[in-house]
Structure 1
Amino acid sequence: MAVTHTEEFRREAVRIALSSGLSRTRVAADLGIGKSTLGHWISQYRTADLSVPEPQADLVRENERLRLENRVLREEREILKKATQFFASQKI
């Protein structure tokens, strides 16, 4: 059974893909959609007006930057957890 996404979800996915600085593969994986689906939506909506009112544009950019930073910090935390487990299991 195919999943149907709302128009709002599609537009937000396109906006994130075009403005986040992340690869399309990463954005698609994060959103739980296929890369080809995201590419199709981007080509479909590229000419559509997906802009955000100027006062909110800075907030949108900052939000995306913080999401990326948060993702990196989570990955670093997981690496440190694994390293801690590894070294704790080593006999001295």
Structure 2
Amino acid sequence: MPKAFPLEFRRDVVAVARKGEASLRQIAKDFGISEACLHRWLKLADVEDGVRPGATSSESAELRELRRRNKILEQENEILRRAAAYFAKEISPK
């Protein structure tokens, strides 16, 4: 798996690329990353800045947390449903 670059480094590279003083190929070479990686970082930065449509990192994190919480609540609901059915059998006349 490729190494993860620090967020600050990514921001610096994107800022240099947005200045437009050099080609993206040269910027990628100077910073030791692939050109495809630089293009991806630029797209992600555009989403974060609201230039492109898409989910920002904070929205993605919130969505992950909500999905996790929803799964827990569904499991708790299933446990309660089964418990109610079990206790209903005990108290119903036969």
Q: Provide the TM-score with structure 2 as the length reference.
A: 0.48
Higher relative contact order (CA 8 A, sep 6+): 1
Larger Rg: 2
